[in-house]
Amino acid sequence: MTATTTTGADLALETRRRRSIAVISHPDAGKSTLTEALALHARAITEAGAVHGKQGRDGVVSDWLEMEQKRGISITSAALQFEVDDLVINLLDTPGHADFSEDTYRVLTAVDAAVMLLDSAKGLEPQTLKLFEVCRRRGIPVITFVNKWDRPGRTALELCDELEQRIQLRPTPVTWPVGEAGNFRGLLDPVTEEVTLYRRAPGGAALAEEEHLGADAARSALPELVEEAVDSVGLLDAVDRESFLAGTTTPLLFGAALANIGVRQLLDVVGTLAPAPDDRPGLDGAPRPVDAPFSGFVFKMQAGMDTKHRDHVAFVRVCSGEFQRGMVVTHGQTRRPFATKYALSVFGRSRDTIETAYPGDVVGLVNATNLAVGDSLYDGGGPPVVFPPMPVFAPEHFVAARAADPGRSKQFRKGIAQLEQEGVVQVLVSEARGDGSPILAAVGPLQFEVATFRMEHEFNAPIRVDQLSYSIARLATPEDVQALAGRAGVEIARRADGVTLALLESVWRLRALQRDNPELSLEPLPAGTE
């Protein structure tokens, strides 16, 4: 590769052009559908369904796992990059199911803004609330898109009240629906009072036809509905970018992603209000300027994207400087050199070789077997940096795994090690069981299904899992380990990072142990939200 030199002005320009966003919501709110619609409006695809491999628009079908196709849920996040106008959008679609929260939370470390998707009939749901709290703690500004307005649902003002009362986020409308949920006639621009009417394309595979009416024409065409919309939206504050970036307000939009309605306005808001990449703090708290030499961190590992080659890809968020394919960078955790010969730009399941990338971009490094989720990379010619580690969740479900065929123990160990490296499950080893029967720990039981499926189909090492009765994991000091020796209903296990955990059957067992042994520490694990 012939290296090119990027000036400071060029780097600043490329950085200002970037927007890195995640789409978050409760399951079935329409995240993958909205992702398709955004790419369609940006002309990155010609027909909805091209990203997620859908045969139609009625269900969410996975990119690359057969079990996702059978269940109709998203199990892994998807990364897309596309250009719209003069902007480069890095869009990360996340799994909504609570069992895969860790993947979603890691994605949120790699973005600068989020689109919170609400179902018009359901409003704020439990998983949405959890994800919003993560955004708040991380200082990620949130844009709200109320989806499925073409179906019966709640009133717009009721949803606004819920946002303000339950999460103290003041909605500032960018668009407002003309017609109640289920009787959706168009979208009002609160500033100009112009109205856009829509005619959806068959199946929602193409852009909806739009008809733009000026304020007077709109009042003539739909006098009562437009008057009601104008009166309602007048009760709310106007959009203010400063308060949005401060996390006290949320730009609010309405639409129907399945019909590609209201999505163009969402793209406009991302371009005008969402922040460009900025300085990122390292583990020591010192900010790494975006114009410093290259640095980035691995927020996701994904295997099996290319069924013809058993590769696995490290997804790296570029934090500073210019990435050039082929450059030799330094691995922050080991200080060892790392070559970047095979670097990709990822669009769903499709991949193309990438030559350069800038802050905010996502680079896929192929066959990066020496990397793990949370690892940092930087240009060795600049100052070293290690970014904060990924959040690790307190697991609530545990199984003991073993190779179904003892003759495939080598493949079994290799597969378990890779699943741990990717963060699919946490792997614990206890002295009682040994590493031949590791304990798999997870936030939700569906993670075990993913692990079991991948062990059989990717590593040709089918496994058997035995459900364990534990439901709590606590940090255990050496003194705790000694005090708990021989106790019933407790097992001591260690993670690969050296952390020692006490696994307990229930909170009642924990309380009983602490009552009988006041000296026990048994501190809770961090909740994963930093």
Q: What is the pLDDT of residues 76-131, one digit of tens each?
A: 567 788 899 899 999 987 765 666 667 778 888 999 999 999 999 999 998 888 88
Q: Are 461 and 450 in contact (CB under 8 A)?
A: no
- Whether residue 312 is predicted with pLDDT greater than 50 in this model: the reply is yes
Query: Which CATH code fits 19-272?
Result: 3.40.50.300
| 280-378 CATH fold | Rossmann fold (3.40.50)
Q: Is the pLDDT at 45 greater than 60, yes or no?
A: no
Q: What is the pLDDT of residues 136-147, one digit of tens each?
A: 988 999 999 999
pLDDT higher than threshold 80 for residue 349: no
Question: How many CA atoms lie within 13 Å of 201's alpha carbon, on the beta-carbon side?
Answer: 17
Residue of 422, 414, 332, 380 lying closest to 75 (CA atoms) = 422
Sign of CA dihedral 332, 338, 340, 342: negative
Q: Note whether 462 and 456 are within 8 A (CB).
A: yes
- Which CATH number describes the domain made up of 397-524? 3.30.70.3280
pLDDT tens, residue by residue, 172-229: 999 999 999 999 999 999 999 999 999 876 666 677 889 999 999 999 999 999 999 9
- Residue 94 marked ligand-binding: yes
Other C-beta atoms lying within 10 Å of the C-beta of residue 142: 21
CA torsion angle 323 325 326 329 (round to 10) = 30
At 147-184, the pLDDT tens digits run 999 999 999 999 999 999 999 999 999 999 999 999 99
Which helix (H) or strand (E) segment is 173 a member of? strand 170-173
Whether 19-272 shares its CATH topology with 280-378 is answered yes
Say which residue, 76 or 20, is predicted with more confidence. Answer: 20
Spatial contact of 357 and 494, defined as CB atoms under 8 Å apart: no
What is the C-alpha R_g of the chain?
25
Its pTM stands at: 0.83
Q: Is 93 annotated as a binding residue?
A: yes
Kindly give, in sequence order, each residue whose CB lies less than 8 Å from that of residue 486, ignoring residues fewer than 6 positions away. none
pLDDT of residue 47: 53
What are the tens digits of pLDDT across the range 481-500?
A: 999 998 888 999 999 888 99
Quick one: three-class SS letters along 338-401?
EECCCEEEEECCEEEECCEECCCCEEEEECCCCCCCCCEEECCCCCCCCCCCCCCCCCCEEEEE
Report how far residue 371's alpha carbon sits from residue 365's, in angstroms, rounded to the nearest whole number.
Answer: 9
The domain spans of the chain are 19-272, 280-378, 397-524
Alpha-carbon torsion, ordered 394, 375, 275, 356, to 10 deg: -150
Query: 97 among the known binding-site residues?
Result: yes
